[in-house]
Amino acid sequence: MPAGRWSPVELAGHECEVYEPPRPSEHGFTVIYLHGVHLNGLSDNEAFCAEFDRYGLRVVAPRAGRCWWVDRICPEFDPQLTPFRFVQQDVVSYVAETWGTRPPAIALLGTSMGGQGALRLAFRQPNTFPLAAAISPAIDFQWRYDDPADDYEAMRAMYADAESARQDTATLHVHPLNWPRNLWFACDPADDPWHESTQKLHMKLAALGIPHEYDLETTAGGHGFGYYNRMAPVAIKFLAERLDQERLRV
Protein backbone atom coordinates (compact mmCIF):
# COMPACT_ATOMS: atom_id res chain seq x y z
CA MET A 1 0.00 0.00 0.00
CA PRO A 2 1.14 3.62 -0.56
CA ALA A 3 3.08 5.13 2.32
CA GLY A 4 1.22 8.40 1.88
CA ARG A 5 -2.47 9.19 2.09
CA TRP A 6 -5.12 9.59 -0.61
CA SER A 7 -8.12 11.79 0.19
CA PRO A 8 -11.21 12.78 -1.84
CA VAL A 9 -11.92 16.44 -2.57
CA GLU A 10 -14.57 18.16 -4.66
CA LEU A 11 -13.67 20.94 -7.10
CA ALA A 12 -16.32 22.81 -9.11
CA GLY A 13 -18.71 19.98 -8.31
CA HIS A 14 -16.36 17.26 -9.51
CA GLU A 15 -14.54 14.54 -7.62
CA CYS A 16 -10.75 14.55 -7.36
CA GLU A 17 -8.27 12.44 -5.42
CA VAL A 18 -5.37 14.09 -3.61
CA TYR A 19 -2.18 12.34 -2.52
CA GLU A 20 -0.04 13.58 0.34
CA PRO A 21 3.35 11.83 0.53
CA PRO A 22 4.94 11.14 3.94
CA ARG A 23 7.50 13.92 3.42
CA PRO A 24 6.27 16.51 0.92
CA SER A 25 8.82 18.49 -1.04
CA GLU A 26 9.86 21.65 0.78
CA HIS A 27 9.27 23.48 -2.50
CA GLY A 28 5.66 22.32 -2.78
CA PHE A 29 6.21 20.40 -6.01
CA THR A 30 2.88 19.02 -7.23
CA VAL A 31 1.79 16.70 -10.04
CA ILE A 32 -1.60 16.77 -11.75
CA TYR A 33 -2.39 13.23 -12.91
CA LEU A 34 -4.84 12.77 -15.80
CA HIS A 35 -6.47 9.34 -16.03
CA GLY A 36 -7.12 7.23 -19.11
CA VAL A 37 -10.37 6.33 -20.83
CA HIS A 38 -10.96 3.38 -18.50
CA LEU A 39 -10.98 5.85 -15.57
CA ASN A 40 -8.41 3.98 -13.49
CA GLY A 41 -6.90 6.02 -10.68
CA LEU A 42 -3.65 5.57 -8.78
CA SER A 43 -4.95 5.19 -5.23
CA ASP A 44 -3.84 1.55 -4.99
CA ASN A 45 -0.93 1.73 -7.41
CA GLU A 46 2.31 1.04 -5.55
CA ALA A 47 4.56 1.65 -8.57
CA PHE A 48 3.46 5.28 -9.02
CA CYS A 49 3.01 6.08 -5.33
CA ALA A 50 6.47 4.80 -4.48
CA GLU A 51 7.91 7.36 -6.90
CA PHE A 52 5.70 10.15 -5.56
CA ASP A 53 7.01 9.27 -2.09
CA ARG A 54 10.62 9.15 -3.28
CA TYR A 55 10.51 12.74 -4.52
CA GLY A 56 7.95 14.14 -2.08
CA LEU A 57 5.44 14.94 -4.81
CA ARG A 58 1.89 15.86 -3.93
CA VAL A 59 -0.64 14.70 -6.51
CA VAL A 60 -4.06 15.93 -7.58
CA ALA A 61 -5.96 13.46 -9.75
CA PRO A 62 -9.17 14.96 -11.18
CA ARG A 63 -11.96 12.64 -12.32
CA ALA A 64 -13.54 13.74 -15.57
CA GLY A 65 -15.03 10.71 -17.31
CA ARG A 66 -14.15 9.76 -20.88
CA CYS A 67 -13.60 13.40 -21.77
CA TRP A 68 -10.26 13.23 -23.63
CA TRP A 69 -9.26 16.34 -21.62
CA VAL A 70 -10.20 18.61 -24.51
CA ASP A 71 -11.44 22.18 -24.57
CA ARG A 72 -14.94 21.15 -25.60
CA ILE A 73 -18.07 20.51 -23.62
CA CYS A 74 -18.28 16.84 -22.74
CA PRO A 75 -21.84 16.05 -21.59
CA GLU A 76 -20.51 13.09 -19.62
CA PHE A 77 -18.37 15.49 -17.57
CA ASP A 78 -20.12 18.88 -17.30
CA PRO A 79 -22.73 20.80 -19.34
CA GLN A 80 -20.89 24.13 -19.05
CA LEU A 81 -17.24 23.56 -18.06
CA THR A 82 -14.76 21.92 -20.41
CA PRO A 83 -12.31 19.36 -18.99
CA PHE A 84 -9.42 21.47 -20.27
CA ARG A 85 -10.61 24.59 -18.40
CA PHE A 86 -11.37 22.54 -15.30
CA VAL A 87 -7.71 21.51 -15.04
CA GLN A 88 -6.29 24.86 -16.13
CA GLN A 89 -8.45 26.93 -13.80
CA ASP A 90 -10.02 24.94 -10.97
CA VAL A 91 -7.32 22.35 -10.32
CA VAL A 92 -4.48 24.85 -10.60
CA SER A 93 -6.32 27.25 -8.29
CA TYR A 94 -6.87 24.49 -5.74
CA VAL A 95 -3.14 23.68 -5.71
CA ALA A 96 -2.31 27.37 -5.19
CA GLU A 97 -4.89 27.91 -2.45
CA THR A 98 -4.13 24.68 -0.59
CA TRP A 99 -0.34 24.54 -0.70
CA GLY A 100 0.74 27.91 -2.10
CA THR A 101 2.16 26.12 -5.14
CA ARG A 102 2.03 27.89 -8.48
CA PRO A 103 3.55 27.31 -11.93
CA PRO A 104 6.21 26.29 -12.73
CA ALA A 105 6.13 24.10 -9.61
CA ILE A 106 3.19 22.13 -11.07
CA ALA A 107 3.78 19.26 -13.51
CA LEU A 108 1.41 17.24 -15.68
CA LEU A 109 1.43 13.44 -15.85
CA GLY A 110 -0.97 11.24 -17.78
CA THR A 111 -1.53 7.76 -19.13
CA SER A 112 -3.29 6.85 -22.38
CA MET A 113 -6.17 9.34 -22.84
CA GLY A 114 -4.64 11.32 -19.99
CA GLY A 115 -1.22 11.20 -21.62
CA GLN A 116 -2.46 13.00 -24.69
CA GLY A 117 -4.37 15.31 -22.36
CA ALA A 118 -1.18 16.23 -20.52
CA LEU A 119 0.57 16.96 -23.82
CA ARG A 120 -2.41 18.97 -25.09
CA LEU A 121 -2.51 21.15 -21.97
CA ALA A 122 1.24 21.74 -22.15
CA PHE A 123 1.14 22.64 -25.83
CA ARG A 124 -1.84 24.95 -25.37
CA GLN A 125 -0.64 26.59 -22.13
CA PRO A 126 3.17 26.24 -21.98
CA ASN A 127 3.57 29.10 -19.49
CA THR A 128 1.18 27.47 -17.01
CA PHE A 129 2.36 23.94 -17.76
CA PRO A 130 6.03 23.95 -18.80
CA LEU A 131 6.44 20.33 -17.61
CA ALA A 132 4.58 17.29 -18.94
CA ALA A 133 5.17 13.54 -19.01
CA ALA A 134 2.95 11.18 -20.98
CA ILE A 135 2.94 7.38 -20.85
CA SER A 136 1.28 5.63 -23.81
CA PRO A 137 -0.41 8.85 -24.97
CA ALA A 138 -3.48 8.16 -27.11
CA ILE A 139 -2.66 11.04 -29.44
CA ASP A 140 -4.51 10.34 -32.70
CA PHE A 141 -7.74 9.48 -30.92
CA GLN A 142 -9.78 10.04 -34.07
CA TRP A 143 -8.86 6.45 -34.95
CA ARG A 144 -11.32 5.35 -32.28
CA TYR A 145 -14.17 7.61 -33.41
CA ASP A 146 -16.15 4.80 -35.09
CA ASP A 147 -15.30 2.20 -32.47
CA PRO A 148 -18.68 0.99 -31.12
CA ALA A 149 -17.30 0.42 -27.61
CA ASP A 150 -18.86 2.52 -24.87
CA ASP A 151 -15.39 3.89 -24.05
CA TYR A 152 -15.59 6.12 -27.13
CA GLU A 153 -19.22 7.22 -26.92
CA ALA A 154 -18.27 10.52 -25.27
CA MET A 155 -15.95 11.35 -28.18
CA ARG A 156 -18.82 11.08 -30.63
CA ALA A 157 -20.83 13.48 -28.46
CA MET A 158 -18.04 16.07 -28.73
CA TYR A 159 -17.08 15.82 -32.41
CA ALA A 160 -19.23 15.68 -35.52
CA ASP A 161 -16.91 13.22 -37.25
CA ALA A 162 -13.44 11.68 -37.11
CA GLU A 163 -11.90 14.51 -39.12
CA SER A 164 -13.01 17.19 -36.67
CA ALA A 165 -11.50 15.07 -33.89
CA ARG A 166 -8.24 14.72 -35.85
CA GLN A 167 -7.96 18.48 -36.21
CA ASP A 168 -8.09 18.81 -32.42
CA THR A 169 -5.36 16.29 -31.59
CA ALA A 170 -2.37 17.27 -29.46
CA THR A 171 0.09 17.15 -32.37
CA LEU A 172 -1.84 19.87 -34.19
CA HIS A 173 -1.62 22.12 -31.12
CA VAL A 174 2.17 22.30 -31.24
CA HIS A 175 3.28 25.91 -31.73
CA PRO A 176 6.70 26.32 -33.37
CA LEU A 177 7.56 29.40 -31.29
CA ASN A 178 5.79 28.77 -27.99
CA TRP A 179 6.24 25.34 -26.47
CA PRO A 180 6.71 23.74 -23.02
CA ARG A 181 10.34 23.59 -21.92
CA ASN A 182 10.14 20.10 -20.44
CA LEU A 183 8.55 17.26 -22.37
CA TRP A 184 8.86 13.50 -21.93
CA PHE A 185 6.79 10.74 -23.46
CA ALA A 186 6.99 7.00 -24.05
CA CYS A 187 5.04 4.36 -25.90
CA ASP A 188 5.53 0.60 -26.23
CA PRO A 189 6.34 -0.51 -29.82
CA ALA A 190 3.67 -3.21 -29.35
CA ASP A 191 1.04 -0.56 -28.59
CA ASP A 192 -0.88 -0.28 -31.86
CA PRO A 193 -2.02 2.29 -33.01
CA TRP A 194 -0.78 4.67 -30.32
CA HIS A 195 2.90 4.00 -30.98
CA GLU A 196 2.56 5.29 -34.54
CA SER A 197 0.93 8.55 -33.45
CA THR A 198 3.58 9.04 -30.76
CA GLN A 199 6.29 8.57 -33.40
CA LYS A 200 4.58 11.21 -35.53
CA LEU A 201 4.64 13.65 -32.62
CA HIS A 202 8.33 12.96 -32.03
CA MET A 203 9.14 13.59 -35.70
CA LYS A 204 7.22 16.86 -35.71
CA LEU A 205 8.94 18.12 -32.56
CA ALA A 206 12.33 17.10 -33.95
CA ALA A 207 11.65 18.86 -37.26
CA LEU A 208 10.71 22.05 -35.38
CA GLY A 209 13.74 21.81 -33.10
CA ILE A 210 11.61 21.54 -29.96
CA PRO A 211 13.56 19.81 -27.17
CA HIS A 212 11.97 16.67 -25.75
CA GLU A 213 12.91 13.32 -24.26
CA TYR A 214 11.23 10.11 -25.34
CA ASP A 215 11.34 6.33 -25.27
CA LEU A 216 9.72 4.54 -28.17
CA GLU A 217 11.70 1.31 -27.79
CA THR A 218 11.08 -0.16 -24.32
CA THR A 219 8.45 -2.89 -24.45
CA ALA A 220 6.46 -4.26 -21.52
CA GLY A 221 3.21 -5.76 -22.73
CA GLY A 222 1.69 -3.06 -24.90
CA HIS A 223 -1.06 -0.72 -23.71
CA GLY A 224 -1.95 -0.97 -20.03
CA PHE A 225 -0.71 -0.68 -16.48
CA GLY A 226 1.97 -3.31 -16.97
CA TYR A 227 3.75 -0.85 -19.25
CA TYR A 228 2.66 2.24 -17.30
CA ASN A 229 4.14 0.83 -14.10
CA ARG A 230 7.37 -0.06 -15.88
CA MET A 231 7.76 3.51 -17.12
CA ALA A 232 6.54 5.27 -13.96
CA PRO A 233 10.02 5.57 -12.37
CA VAL A 234 11.45 7.16 -15.53
CA ALA A 235 8.54 9.54 -16.04
CA ILE A 236 8.36 10.71 -12.44
CA LYS A 237 12.12 11.08 -12.10
CA PHE A 238 12.04 13.29 -15.19
CA LEU A 239 9.33 15.48 -13.65
CA ALA A 240 11.05 15.70 -10.26
CA GLU A 241 14.38 16.70 -11.80
CA ARG A 242 12.80 19.22 -14.15
CA LEU A 243 10.68 20.72 -11.36
CA ASP A 244 13.90 21.44 -9.52
CA GLN A 245 15.50 22.88 -12.66
CA GLU A 246 12.52 25.16 -13.12
CA ARG A 247 12.82 26.29 -9.49
CA LEU A 248 16.46 27.23 -10.01
CA ARG A 249 15.67 28.83 -13.36
CA VAL A 250 13.16 31.20 -11.77
pLDDT of 128: 97
Average confidence (pLDDT) over 89-93: 98
Instruction: Give, to the nearest 10 degrees, the angle between helix 225-249 and helix 46-55.
Output: 20
Task: Please provide the DSSP assignment of the chain as one string.
Answer: --SSEEEEEEETTEEEEEEE-SS--TT--EEEEE--TT---STT-HHHHHHHHHHT-EEEEE---S-TT-SS--TTT-SS--HHHIIIIIIHHHHHHHH---TTSEEEEEETHHHHHHHHHHHH-TTT--EEEEES----GGGGTT--SGGGHHHHHH-SSHHHHHTTSGGGG--TTS--SEEEEE--TTSTTHHHHHHHHHHHHHHHT---EEESS--SSSSSHHHHHHHHHHHHHHHHHHHHHHHHH-
**pLDDT for 250 beyond 70:** no
User: What's the whole-number average pLDDT of the chain?
Assistant: 97
Q: How far apart are CA 229 and CA 196, in angstroms?
A: 21
The residue type at 176: P
pLDDT of 3: 86
pLDDT of 151: 87
Q: How far apart are CA 173 and CA 239, in angstroms?
A: 22
> Which domains does the chain possess?
5-249 (3.40.50.1820)
Q: How far apart are CA 147 and CA 237, in angstroms?
A: 35
pLDDT of 249: 85
Q: Using the 8-state DSSP alphabet, how is residue 149 labeled?
A: S
How many residues are present in the chain? 250
210-230 tens-digit pLDDT: 999 999 999 999 999 999 999
154-197 tens-digit pLDDT: 999 999 999 999 999 999 999 999 999 999 999 999 998 899 99
26-77 tens-digit pLDDT: 999 999 999 999 999 999 999 999 999 999 999 999 999 999 999 999 999 9
Q: How far apart are CA 147 and CA 107, in angstroms?
A: 32
